[in-house]
Amino acid sequence: MLLVSCGNTKEVLIPVQPVPIPAQLIADCPQPDIPENVDWGDMPQLLVDAMNSIAKCNLDKKAIREIEVKRLAQ
């Protein structure tokens, strides 16, 4: 008889606000500066700078994907 009063509870769903993506993850990726007078000796360093920039951008995009996976799992 005491449990009858608990039968009227209604389930109320409260919407969850999505986690905002940090600004540093969606910022533009920096491009290496290319000097006006470039010779072939400068090319290896320019290539290294470009590859580092691409690698950093890929890490940012990976972090965004991880945030989205967590968001969908909730």
Point out the least confidently predicted range of 6-15, 29-38, 41-50. 6-15
pLDDT score of 2 more than 70 = no
- CA within 13 Å, CB half, 67: 14
Q: Which residues of 5-22 are buried (b: 16+ CB within 10 A; e: fewer)?
A: eeeeeeeeeeeeeeeeee
Given a cut of 90, is residue 33 above it in pLDDT?
Answer: no
**Average pLDDT of the chain, as a whole number:** 83
62-74 average pLDDT score: 86
Contact status, residue 35 vs residue 42, Cβ threshold 8 Å: yes
Summarize the confidence of residues 37-62 as an average pLDDT.
90
Comparing 57 with 34, the larger pLDDT belongs to 57
